[in-house]
Amino acid sequence: MEYVSTRGASDPVGFFDAFSAGLAPDGGLYVPKNLPLLPSSLLVEEEPLPYAALAWDFLSLFDTDHDPEVLSDLIDRSYGNFSDTMSAPLQQLDDDLYVLELFHGPTLAFKDFGLQLIGNLFEDQIARTGTPLNVLGATSGDTGSAAIHGLANKKGVNVFILYPEGRISELQERQMTCTEADNIFPIPIQGTFDDGQAIVKELMNDLSFKKEMRLSAVNSINIVRILAQCVYYLHAYTQLPQSARDSVNFIVPTGNFGNVFAGWLVHQMGLPVDTFDVSTNQNDILFQLFKTGKYSPGKVTPSHAPSMDIQVASNFERFLYYHNEKNGAQTKAMMEEFKRSGGLEIPNFNASNFTATRTTDEDIVENIRLVKEAYDYVVCPHTACGFQQIPENETNVILATAHPAKFPDIIEDAIGERPTSPVLEKLKTKEKVTYPVEATPEAVRAFLVENGV
Ligand SMILES: *Cc1c(COP(=O)(O)O)cnc(C)c1O
């Protein structure tokens, strides 16, 4: 399988190169050159295949660079440690209402599906090329911990994650600092997430330093993350009773448009889906887009669903490329216009089979309460956005993107009880290991030189 850039000005590359580059040289995002049709046998399964087996069936369509046995082993190692043997179990709440639980990975959020595989692919790449790497990033919480757990104890890679001390939750900090892995360097800084991000940018933009230190990012727009996330849509579908498979809606709490785009991609490959509902919080740029065809980011307003507090949805460029009928030059022109003017009006915008909803902070709290009352089921504040407006007389599958125990305060406000999870309780018994560094590029640079592989 080859991968092309959404901006059409880079050469096609294979799986290895699309994975290791993240971003294409022309600034675009990689997409598969052609989307294969799903083998129909996958769609008529009466019983879901084991998760790793399904992941192999799907991912081997896209990774034709690895030896099949090697890929199979990487997949087993990525999903074998999930606490629920189903990895992504479907819970039925009502006649036609289901929740797809994506929070059984090591950091209790769906990002583990992408980053567990990415971690193993990094290790494989380092072994294959003989080049060790230093991963550098800044986090406001969730992505950093999923990346750390994807790379903890992997050979040939040290991981440096900056985070704003005192501005992330206690649990998030524990998830990053209690790994007991000696290749993980969580770096608390005095300042905000943006300060951390600015330091990372400055060091990454110093090309000779980047080369000397073999710096790499855990790129949020890596195509492999998207492909890995495609698998659970298929897995969900095959867990539905045959009678419920005729008109299926997936309702997806959305920030960067990565998760819902993965579902849409599988639909393009033949998964029968009626609609994808893009559920936003009060940061509703994507809601506005699907209502009006206008994409105009504003300022982020912090919400109860912080992992969806995003204004520029980086994966949207991939949808735009398909919307432009795979015209890279047109997509490039639009992204340049977007960069110039800070907004985009898409001519003849066709929302395809997307719908959109937005949920305020008050509604998030109210939805958590209502779901508990109606179904005796507790949802996290991100997942709560999916319950805002549920279509009637169709099969609805709401994606539960994180475990409620990651957000105990807001849940307690809503329903008067504090959710827990054995994974998080165990973290509380472990020692935090941090590497405080002064919040300047010079100090972080010196720390990397001293501690890099
Ligand atoms: C990242 C995240 C989201 C948003 O997912 P996107 O792929 O950015 O749309 C939603 N919920 C949780 C819990 C997340 O961590």
254: helix, coil or strand?
coil
Whether the predicted pLDDT of 81 surpasses 90: no
Whether the predicted pLDDT of 113 surpasses 70: yes
Torsion sign over Cα 450, 171, 149, 281: negative
User: What pLDDT does residue 151 have?
Assistant: 95
For ligand 1, the distance from its centroid to the CA atom of residue 383, given in whole angstroms, is 10
Torsion sign over Cα 56, 62, 68, 73: negative
For ligand 1, the distance from its centroid to the CA atom of residue 129, given in whole angstroms, is 32
Q: Give the mean model confidence (pLDDT) for residues 75-80.
A: 90
Nearest CA to ligand 1 atom 15: 307
Whether the predicted pLDDT of 360 surpasses 90: yes
Position 390 confidence tier, pLDDT thresholds 50, 70, 90:
very high
Please provide the average confidence, as pLDDT, over all residues in the chain.
Answer: 93
Question: 421: which residues sit within 8 A by CB, 6+ positions away?
Answer: 108, 403, 405
Q: Give the other-Cβ count within 10 Å of 224's Cβ.
A: 22
Whether the predicted pLDDT of 277 surpasses 70: yes
* C-alpha–C-alpha distance, residues 132 and 286, integer Å: 39
33 is catalytic: no
The residue count of the chain comes to 453
Q: Kindly give the number of the ligand 1 atom that is closest to the alpha carbon of 406.
A: 13
Position 84 confidence tier, pLDDT thresholds 50, 70, 90:
low
Position 223 confidence tier, pLDDT thresholds 50, 70, 90:
very high
Q: Is the distance from CB of 70 to CB of 356 less than 8 angstroms?
A: no
* C-alpha–C-alpha distance, residues 150 and 118, integer Å: 7
Q: What angle do CA 245, 246, 251 make, to 5 degrees?
A: 70
For ligand 1, the distance from its centroid to the CA atom of residue 65, given in whole angstroms, is 29
In the set 111, 154, 332, 406, the catalytic residue is: 111
Q: Kindly give the number of the ligand 1 atom that is closest to the alpha carbon of 229.
A: 7
pLDDT tens readout for residues 133-153: 999 998 877 788 889 999 999
Q: Which residues are near ligand 1 (CB < 6 Å)? A: 109, 111, 142, 253-259, 307-308, 382, 401-402
Beta-strand ranges (E) seen in 202-323 are 215-216, 248-253, 275-280, 294-295
Q: Kindly give the number of the ligand 1 atom that is closest to the alpha carbon of 258.
A: 7
CATH fold of the domain at 89-105+224-420: Rossmann fold (3.40.50)
Lowest mean pLDDT among 34-48, 110-124, 177-191: 34-48
Nearest CA to ligand 1 atom 8: 256
User: What pLDDT does residue 211 have?
Assistant: 92
Residue reference for tokens 């579908």: 237
Whether the predicted pLDDT of 85 surpasses 70: no
User: What pLDDT does residue 250 have?
Assistant: 98
For ligand 1, the distance from its centroid to the CA atom of residue 317, given in whole angstroms, is 17
Whether the predicted pLDDT of 197 surpasses 90: no
Kindly give the residue spans of alpha helices, DSSP state H, lying in 152-222.
170-177, 193-205, 207-212
User: What pLDDT does residue 23 have?
Assistant: 86
